[in-house]
Amino acid sequence: MRPTDVGALININDPRVAPGGALVSYTEQCVELDANRYVTAAWVTDLDGVRRALITGGDADTSLARWSPDGTTLAVLRKPRNGDDEEPTSIVFVRATDADAAVDPVTVCALAEPPSELEWSPDGTRLAFIARQPDPAYYGAPGETRKAKDTPARHITHFYTREDGEDFTFDRPARLFVVAAERDAAPRVLSDGPGASGFAWSPDGTRIAYCEARHDTWDFDLANDIWIVDAEADESASPNEPQRFTEPGQCYSHLSWAPNGARIAALCDPTPLDTPRHGRLVVFNVATGACESSTEQLDRNCAPYPGARAPLWDGPARLLFNLEDAGAVPLVSVLVVNPGGGACELEYLVDGPRAVNGFDRRDGTLAAVIGAADSLAELHIAAASTGGELRAITNATERFSTAIGSEPVTPIRFEATSSDGELVECWAYRPVGDGPFPTLLNIHGGPFTQYGYRVFDEFQMQLRAGFAVVCCNPRGSSGYSEAWGRAIRWPEWATDPGTGWGGIDYDDVMACIDTAVGRFEWIDGDRVGVLGGSYGGYMTSWIIGHTNRFRAACSERSVNNLLTEEHNSDVASAFRTEIGASHIDKPEAYLRHSPITYVRDMHTPLLILHSENDLRCPINQAEELFVTLRMLGRTPEFWRFPGECHELSRHGAPKHRVQRAEIILDFFRRHLQDA
Would you place residue 338 in the very low, low, confident or very high pLDDT band (cuts 50, 70, 90)? low
Q: How does the average pLDDT of the chain come out, rounded? A: 94
Residue 86 parent element (H or E): none
pLDDT tier for residue 467 given thresholds of 50, 70 and 90: very high
In the predicted model, is pLDDT for residue 101 greater than 80?
no
Helix pair 535-544, 504-519: axis angle to 10 deg? 80
| Lowest model confidence (mean pLDDT) among 55-69, 236-250, 320-334 | 236-250
Q: How far apart are CA 600 and CA 41, in angstroms?
A: 51
Q: How confident is the model at residue 191 (pLDDT cuts 50, 70, 90)?
A: very high
Q: Please write the tens of the pLDDT for every residue from 74-87.
A: 999 999 886 544 55
Q: Are 1 and 402 in contact (CB under 8 A)?
A: no
- What is the SS3 string spanning 389-443? CCEECCCHHHHHHHHHCCCCCCCEEEEEECCCCCEEEEEEECCCCCCCEEEEEEE
Let me know: does 558 contact 537? Beta carbons within 8 Å: yes
- CB atoms inside a 10 Å sphere around CB 312: 17
* pLDDT at residue 339 tops 90: no
Q: What is the mean pLDDT of residues 565-579?
A: 97
Q: Is the pLDDT of residue 197 over 70?
A: yes
DSSP 332-394: EEEE---TT----EEEEEE-SS-EEEEEEEETTEEEEEEEETTEEEEEEEEEGGGTSS-EE--
Q: What is the pLDDT of residue 484?
A: 98
Q: Quick one: average pLDDT of 276-292?
A: 95
Q: Region 297-314: what's the mean pLDDT?
A: 91
What's this model's pTM, rounded to 2 decimal places?
0.96
Antiparallel, parallel or unpaired: β 606-611 and 637-641? parallel
233 has a pLDDT exceeding 90: no
Return d(Cα 36, Cα 658) in angstroms, integer: 10
The answer, yes or no, to whether residue 235 has pLDDT greater than 60, is: no
Residue 174 pairs in a beta bridge with 132, 195
Residue 147 confidence class, pLDDT cut points 50, 70, 90 = confident
pLDDT digits (tens, 9 = 90+) for 530-557: 999 999 999 999 999 999 999 999 999 9
Is the torsion defined by CA of 202, 205, 211, 212 positive or negative? negative
> What is the mean predicted confidence (pLDDT) over 596-605?
98
pLDDT higher than 90, residue 317: no
Report the alpha-carbon distance of residue 170 to residue 52 in Å, rounded.
40
Kindly report the CA angle at 179 between 176 and 185, in degrees rounded to 5?
140
CB-based contact 664:457 (threshold 8 Å): no
Instruction: Give the Cα separation of 450 and 241 in Å (integer).
Output: 41
What's the pLDDT at 142? 77
pLDDT reported for residue 533: 98
Confidence band for 354, pLDDT divided at 50, 70 and 90? very high
- Which three-class secondary structure state does DSSP give residue 664? helix
* Residues 58 and 50 sit within 8 Å (Cβ to Cβ): no
How far is Cα 519 from Cα 525, in angstroms, rounded to an integer?
11
φ, ψ for residue 513, nearest 5 deg: -70, -35
CB contact burial 47-62 (16+ within 10 A = b; e otherwise): beeebeebbeeeebbb
| pLDDT tens-digit readout, 105-116 | 999 999 999 999
Encoded amino acid at 470, one letter: V
CB 154 within 8 A of CB 139: no
- CA neighbor of 105 nearest in space, from 63, 56, 177: 56
Q: What are phi and psi of 509, to 5 degrees?
A: -70, -35
**Tens digits of residue pLDDT in 501-520:** 999 999 999 999 999 999 99
Q: How many angstroms from the chain centroid is the CA of residue 363?
A: 29
What does the DSSP 8-state code read for residue 242? P
Half-sphere exposure in the Cβ direction for 317 (13 Å, CA): 7
Q: From the CB of residue 632, how many other CB atoms can be counted at a distance below 10 Å?
A: 12
Backbone φ and ψ for 235, nearest 5 degrees, come out as -60, -25
Confidence grade of residue 232 (pLDDT, cut at 50, 70, 90): confident
Angstrom distance (rounded) from CA 619 to CA 558: 9
Task: Supply the pLDDT for residue 238.
Answer: 65
505: amino acid identity, one letter: D
Q: pLDDT tier at 666 (50, 70, 90 boundaries)? A: very high
Comparing CA positions, the residue from 253, 277, 288 lying closest to residue 267 is: 253
Residue 88's pLDDT is what?
Answer: 61
User: CA-to-CA distance for 10 and 395, rounded, in angstroms?
Assistant: 10
Going by C-alpha positions, the residue among 512, 516, 493, 490 that lies closest to residue 503 is 490
| Residue 613 CB neighbour total at 10 angstroms | 16
HSE, CB side, 13 Å, CA atoms: give it for residue 152: 9
Statement: residue 652 has pLDDT above 60: yes
Q: Mean pLDDT over residues 431-453, rounded?
A: 96
Residue 675: count other Cβ atoms within 10 Å of its Cβ. Answer: 12
CA 244 – CA 223 distance, rounded (Å)? 13
pLDDT tens digit string along 47-99? 999 999 888 767 889 999 999 999 999 999 999 886 544 556 899 999 999 88
